[in-house]
Each structure stands twice: as C-alpha cells, then as structure tokens.
Amino acid sequence: MPQPSSVVRLTFAGLIGFSVWSPFEASAATFSNTISKLYVFGDSLSDAGNVFNATTAVNELPPIPGVVLPPVSPPSPPYFEGRNSNGPVWVEYLADELNLSLTNSTELSTLFPGSPIPSPITLTPNGPAVSPFFNGTLSTTGVNFAFSGAQTGFQGSTDFGELIPGILAQVDWFQTDVALANTMADPDALYVVWAGPNDYWDADPGADLSLLTSTAVNNLETAVEQLYATGARRFLMPNLPDLGQTPRGQISPLETQRLTSLTLAHNALLDTAIDELNLLPDSHVLSLDAFSLFNQAIDNPADFGFANVTDICLLAPTCQGDETVQDSFLFWDDRHPTTAAHLELANSAFTPETVPEPSTIPALGLLGGGLFLLRQVLRKNPRSQCLRKSSKVA
C-alpha cells in the first residue's frame, strides 16, 4: 500500500471521533503533542483489578462481628487476573499503544492518610472500605480508578454498591489528592471517562427513561467539568454499546427494547454534552464510538475475526482453556466482552497521524482503515499486544 511521504505512526490524533457518528469535527492535529499520562475513570469495562484487589484484601481480614464481607470478585479463574474478561481490558491495550504506564488505584492507596502502608482498603467505623488515600502521589503517574459495578454517581450498583466508588467519587479522590500535592492536573495527560451501564441494568423497568439518562450523562459531564477545573484539558468519552444486544439484554423482548432505548437516549445526550464541554477554553473532548463498532461486529463478525457474537463464552465447553476459541467470541459473560473485543475497541482510537483533514476524506473510509489495521493484529493474538498484560494484582 502506498505510504505518505512523511512517516506514518499510529497515534491518538486520529480518534474515531472523525466518524460520521461523532458529535463534532475534530482536527487530525487535535492531540498532536505527546500524551504524558493516562487516567481512567470507569466501571467493569475498564477495571483492571481494582475490585479484585479490594475484595481480596477485605477477605484476608479477621472476621468482623455484624459485618458481611463482599466475596472476592471476579473469581479468577475463570476470569483473568481480576478483570471481567479473559484477558486485558481495552485501557491496558490503549496504554500500550501510547507507550504509557497505567497503575490501578488500589496499588497506590494507603491504609490511612499519611500512612506508609500500601493498602487497597481502609478501616472505618462501619467496617472496611476502599481506600481513597494516596498521599499526594497521583499527579506523578497514570492511574486507573475504574471499579466494577461503578455507576456514574458516587457509588456502585450491586449489594455492596455503597463500597464501590462511582465516577464522581473517583474524580473526587483524584481532585483531593492533586490538591494535597499542591499542584494541578497534568494538561497533557489523557483523561478517559466512561460509565453508564450500571445505572441502567437493574433500574426499575417503570422508571422514567429520560430522568435516568439525563442523570447519568449529567454526572459524566460534571466529572469532566471537575477534572477540567483541576487542570485537565484532554478527554475521551466513549459512548455506550447497545446494551439491548448483549446476552443480558436478550433475556426478553421487553428487556431488549428497554436497554436499547436507554442506550440510544444516553448516547444522544452524551453527544450534546461533548459539544458543550468542547466550549470550555482549551478543552479537547473526543468521543469513541463504541456503539457503531459493537454493531459492526455483530452485523459482520467475520470481518473482526469473530465466529460467535451472541453466546456467552464462559458457558461454552469448548471455550474453556482454549484461547483461540475464546478469541472467536464477542462476549465473555452476559455483559462483558472478551479480550479480543477489548483490543478492537482500543485500537479503533488510532489512525495514521498524516491523514487529511476530515473534510477531505470520507469519514467511514477513515474508520475502516483504522479497523483494518486492528483486525490484522487481532487475528495474530490479542494478548500478545498487551506488553504489560496487567498491572500488579494483589
């Protein structure tokens, strides 16, 4: 294939925000400068071991009268080293593409404020909780704050949801620690903010759809505004894949309709929020079109190296212990993708930095070019592309 006269290098400059689904037009030079660090605020789709680390630590404590402890989650195996998948999640692949380190927040926290004792948990009068204490260290390294079960607000969704920091809590932890260090957030870092499904999975079927989605998206917009006030300037806000097309969403026609309607409403509001956030001086807020990528994989699975885009890999006897078979599945469990799908998502953010401006190239062609490069990598072995494969898991 002919190459441009200048060097072609895969960078974050050509985010999938160029596609026709993007709520705004981005320049190919939007992120032309080097990205210094990566910060992630999210849920199970981005969690690389935080909930696993915390629940493991809690279950190593002596029994506490009257306190019911959450089980170690997710059980690993069959899950991969604390991920809700069979391998690394997309932000780990993304960090590798950017040649950046990404450390779980539970590997940086301490037992108490000012304590030198590393600990994913702290002790409170009400029992153990995830530690929010970092002694002013977060501004010096890339951090993954994502926790499985996190909602867009201050807590999570499960029976132990009050112990899970939601997006706004994760951002608050970061803000507090940056202030403790008497500094500002790095304007050259990339801040990923992605959540929403846990606001919707188990919501009351009779709940007001517009209220649910407006609350969730307002929380995400608030999170970015707070990070911006702390000094952050570069953001990535993926939209939601169609939750109604997951195995969990296919349990009944009514549930499919409910979750698909929530997805569409969420994504429409997110488009508007991104437009508004880009009005902040010097801000660069880009979208990642997980919705379209997910639908393309379902409609044309062979193009992505998938053979099964409907069933749960964990329930297939042939899937156990066979990475080749696992990489042919889109879904690892009823709502989480396989690591092969995570790699698709991560690499969809990249296109050659020498591409023309969006107005001079068909948007879908640009998207297709990036996915073509990705598929060639995926068919080799997705795990081999994640050099760090994991942050240390306790």
pLDDT at 384 over 80: no
pLDDT at 15 over 80: no
pLDDT at 256 over 70: yes
Looking at residue 33, what is its pLDDT? 53
Looking at residue 62, what is its pLDDT? 86
Q: What is the pTM of this model?
A: 0.84
CB 221 within 8 A of CB 273: yes
pLDDT at 317 over 50: yes
From the centroid of its chain, how far is CA 106?
A: 16
pLDDT at 117 over 90: yes
What secondary structure letter does DSSP report for 292?
A: H
Looking at residue 381, what is its pLDDT? 52
Residues 178-232 have pLDDT tens digits of 999 999 999 999 999 999 999 999 999 888 999 999 999 999 999 999 999 999 9
Q: Average pLDDT for residues 68-77, to the nearest whole number?
A: 89
CB 93 within 8 A of CB 85: no
pLDDT at 8 over 60: no
Specify the amino acid at residue 195: A
Q: 289 or 62: which carries more pLDDT confidence?
A: 289
Share of residues in the chain with pLDDT > 70 (%): 80
Looking at residue 126, what is its pLDDT? 79
Element (H or E) spanning 235, and its range?
Answer: strand 234-238
Share of residues in the chain with pLDDT > 90 (%): 70
Alpha helices in 278-387 (DSSP H): 290-299, 323-326, 339-347, 363-380
The domains of the chain are located at 10-49+81-105+133-385
Alpha helices in the chain (DSSP H): 50-59, 90-97, 167-180, 197-200, 209-230, 253-277, 290-299, 323-326, 339-347, 363-380
Ramachandran category for residue 389: left, alpha or beta (phi over 0 → left; psi -120 to 50 → alpha): left
d(CA 86, CA 106): 21
Looking at residue 52, what is its pLDDT? 96
- Other C-beta atoms closer than 10 Å to the C-beta of 176 total 15
pLDDT at 372 over 50: no
CATH number of 10-49+81-105+133-385: 3.40.50.1110
pLDDT at 362 over 90: no
For the chain, what's the residue count? 394
Burial label for 228, CB within 10 Å (0-12, 13-18, 19+), is buried
337 pLDDT band, cuts 50/70/90, is: very high
Looking at residue 374, what is its pLDDT? 35
What angle (nearest 5°) sits at the alpha carbon of residue 19, between those of residues 15 and 22? 85
Residues 295-312 have pLDDT tens digits of 999 999 999 999 999 999
What angle (nearest 5°) sits at the alpha carbon of residue 359, between those of residues 355 and 363? 70
d(CA 195, CA 192): 10
